[in-house]
């Protein structure tokens, strides 16, 4: 599964709407239930939770790239 595309399916019609940011989120069964529970706990919309998760993922990737770049730079300096 490609990490850049996230599709989640739901029975909950409320979550069928496209959130700002254009990500279409849909959740199936247990996932939808878990997302709703988490959302109520944090009093956040599932869309917001997903956006946070995505931005964290992006930050991790950027950090990974930075580390890789610095490692490559160090390797080329050694030669």
Task: Tell me the per-residue pLDDT of 56-71, one tens digit each, with 9 for 90 and over.
Answer: 777 778 888 888 888 8
Instruction: Report residues of the chain scoring pLDDT below 50.
Output: 1-16, 18-24
Q: Is 42 domain-assigned?
A: yes
Tell which residue, 72, 12, 78, has the closest CA to residue 46: 12
The boundaries of the domain holding residue 28 are 13-78
Q: Where are the alpha helices (H) located in 1-79, listed in sequence order?
A: 29-42, 46-78
Mean pLDDT, the chain, as a whole number?
A: 64
Per-residue pLDDT at 43: 66
Q: Do the Cβ atoms of 29 and 8 come closer than 8 Å?
A: no
In whole angstroms, what separates CA 1 from the centre of its chain?
A: 13
Domains identified in the chain, total number: 1
Q: Is 23 domain-assigned?
A: yes
Predicted model pTM = 0.31
Per-residue pLDDT at 6: 45
Q: Do the Cβ atoms of 31 and 52 come closer than 8 Å?
A: no
Per-residue pLDDT at 55: 78
Q: Is 2 domain-assigned?
A: no
């Amino acid at each position: 599964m490609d990490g850049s595309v996230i599709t989640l399916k739901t029975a909950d019609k409320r979550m069928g709407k496209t959130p700002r940011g254009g990500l279409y989120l849909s959740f199936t069964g247990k996932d939808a239930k878990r997302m709703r529970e988490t959302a109520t706990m944090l009093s956040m919309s599932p869309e917001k939770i997903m956006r946070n998760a995505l931005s964290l993922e992006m930050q991790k990737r950027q950090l990974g790239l930075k580390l890789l770049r610095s490692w490559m730079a160090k390797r080329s300096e050694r030669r």
